[in-house]
Structure 1
Amino acid sequence: MADDAVTSKGKFSGMTVDDLLSGNFMDEDDNSEDEGNEGVNDDDDYASLDELEEDEETHKMELAALAEKDPEFFKYLQENDKELLNFTAPAAPADADSDDGGFALDGEDVDMDSDEDEDEESPVLTLAILKGWQRSIIETRSLRSLRKLLLAFRSAARMNDEEAVSGWKIEEASVFNKLVVTAFKYTPVVLQHHLPYKILPNGKFKAPAQNAKFKALQKLVLSYFLTVIHFVSELSDAPMQQLAVQESAKLIPYVISSRKAIRNYLKMCFDLWSSAADEVRLAALLAMRSLVGSQDDSIVDLVLRGSYMALVRSCKSTSAHTLPSINLMKNSAAELYVVDPSTAYQHAFGFIRQLAVHLRNSMKVKSKEAYKQVYNWQFVHSVDFWALVLAKACDAKVESDSGEASELKPLIYPLIQVTLGAIKLIPTARYYPLHLQLLRSLLHIIQRTGTYLSLAPFLVPIITASLSPSSSSAKPKSAALRPLDMTLHIRAPAQYLKTKSYAESTAEEALFVLGSWAECVQGSVAFPEVVLPAVLALRKALKKAHSSGGGKGAANGKIVSMVKTLVERIEEGSKWVSSKRDNVTFAPANQTQVQRWESEVKVEETPVGKYMRVQRKTREKKQAMLEKARQGEGEVLDSD
Structure 2
Amino acid sequence: MDREMRKEVGLKMIGKKAYQKVYDWQFIFCLELWTGVICAYSSEDDFRPLAYPLTQIIYGVASLVLTARYFPLRLRCVRMLNRIAGATGTFVPVSSLLLGMLEMKELKRPPTGGVGKAVNLPNVKQVDKTTLKTRGFQEACIYSVVEELAEHLSQWSYSVAFFELSFIPVVQLRNFCKYTKADRFRREIKELIRQVEANCDFTNSKRIGIEFSPSDPAAASFLKAEKESGSSPLSKFVANLHLKAQQRVDSMVESRLSEMREQDDDDGDAEEGAAVFSSSWLPEKKSKVRGEKKRSKKRSHEKEQDVGADEDVVEDLVLSSDDDEAPVGGLPSDEEDHESESPSLKQEGWKRKLATSPKQKNKKHKLATASSKNRSKPRIKKAARRGANK
Same fold (TM over 0.5): yes
Match of 1:436 among 66, 75, 80: 75
Is 2:167 aligned against 1:541?
no
1:429 is displaced (CA, Å) by: 0.7
Superposed CA deviations along residues 405-456 of structure 1, whole A, max 9, x for unmatched, are 4311111000011111111210111111110011111111112221211210
Cα 1:511/1:467, change in 2 over 3 Å? farther
Alpha-carbon contact 1:430-1:492 (below 8 Å) kept:
yes
Is 2:25 aligned against 1:411?
no
Matches within 5 A, 1:194-343: none
Aligned-pair RMSD on alpha carbons? 2.4
1:512 is displaced (CA, Å) by: 0.7
Cα 1:624/1:454, change in 2 over 3 Å? same
Amino acid at match of 1:378: Q
Number of aligned residue pairs: give it: 251
Alpha-carbon contact 2:68-2:106 (below 8 Å) kept:
no
Aligned match of 1:525 = 160
Superposed CA deviations along residues 581-622 of structure 1, whole A, max 9, x for unmatched, are 01212233321x111114333262111111111111122222
TM-score (structure 2 length as normaliser): 0.60
Higher share of residues assigned helix: 2
Matches within 5 A, 1:447-526: 447-465=86-104, 469-470=108-109, 472-475=110-113, 478-479=114-115, 481-526=116-161
Amino acid at match of 1:474: T
TM-score (structure 1 length as normaliser): 0.37
Superposed CA deviations along residues 150-169 of structure 1, whole A, max 9, x for unmatched, are xxxxxxxxxxxxxxxxxxxx
Structure 2 unaligned regions, length at least 5: 1-9, 262-390
Alpha-carbon contact 1:523-1:598 (below 8 Å) kept:
yes
Aligned match of 1:568 = 194
Amino acid at match of 2:112: A
Cα 1:411/1:500, change in 2 over 3 Å? same
Aligned match of 2:20 = 372
Is 2:216 aligned against 1:590?
yes
Aligned match of 2:40 = 392
Amino acid at match of 2:93: S
Alpha-carbon contact 1:391-1:448 (below 8 Å) kept:
yes
Aligned match of 2:327 = none
Cα 1:578/1:371, change in 2 over 3 Å? same
1:363 is displaced (CA, Å) by: 9.2
Alpha-carbon contact 1:464-1:538 (below 8 Å) kept:
no
1:473 is displaced (CA, Å) by: 3.3
Query: 1:469, 1:599 → 2: CA distance?
Result: 40
Amino acid at match of 2:95: A
Is 2:251 aligned against 1:625?
yes
Aligned match of 2:315 = none
Match of 1:427 among 66, 69, 91: 66
Query: 1:387, 1:532 → 2: CA distance?
Result: 29
1:375 is displaced (CA, Å) by: 0.8
Superposed CA deviations along residues 96-142 of structure 1, whole A, max 9, x for unmatched, are xxxxxxxxxxxxxxxxxxxxxxxxxxxxxxxxxxxxxxxxxxxxxxx
Cα 1:462/1:469, change in 2 over 3 Å? closer
Alpha-carbon contact 1:464-1:541 (below 8 Å) kept:
yes
1:633 is displaced (CA, Å) by: 8.9
Amino acid at match of 1:473: P
SS at match of 1:521: coil
1:561 is displaced (CA, Å) by: 1.0
Query: 1:466, 1:616 → 2: CA distance?
Result: 27
Cα 1:469/1:435, change in 2 over 3 Å? closer
Alpha-carbon contact 1:542-1:560 (below 8 Å) kept:
yes
Cα 1:501/1:441, change in 2 over 3 Å? same
Query: 1:604, 1:449 → 2: CA distance?
Result: 18
Query: 2:103, 2:80 → 1: CA distance?
Result: 22
Alpha-carbon contact 1:467-1:560 (below 8 Å) kept:
no
Query: 1:544, 1:606 → 2: CA distance?
Result: 30
Alpha-carbon contact 2:95-2:169 (below 8 Å) kept:
yes
Cα 1:617/1:373, change in 2 over 3 Å? same
Amino acid at match of 1:436: L
Aligned match of 2:272 = none
Amino acid at match of 2:40: K
SS at match of 1:406: coil
Cα 1:442/1:501, change in 2 over 3 Å? same
Query: 2:76, 2:223 → 1: CA distance?
Result: 29
1:365 is displaced (CA, Å) by: 5.3
Match of 2:203 among 560, 573, 577: 577
Query: 2:107, 2:257 → 1: CA distance?
Result: 36
SS at match of 2:104: helix
Query: 2:172, 2:197 → 1: CA distance?
Result: 13
Matched-pair identity in %? 24
Amino acid at match of 1:538: L
1:544 is displaced (CA, Å) by: 3.0
Query: 1:601, 1:466 → 2: CA distance?
Result: 40
Query: 1:369, 1:588 → 2: CA distance?
Result: 46
Structure 1 unaligned regions, length at least 5: 1-361, 400-404, 551-555, 636-640
Query: 1:533, 1:598 → 2: CA distance?
Result: 23
1:484 is displaced (CA, Å) by: 1.0
Query: 2:155, 2:249 → 1: CA distance?
Result: 23
Amino acid at match of 2:94: L
Cα 1:526/1:494, change in 2 over 3 Å? same
SS at match of 1:582: coil
Query: 1:528, 1:426 → 2: CA distance?
Result: 32
Alpha-carbon contact 1:431-1:492 (below 8 Å) kept:
yes
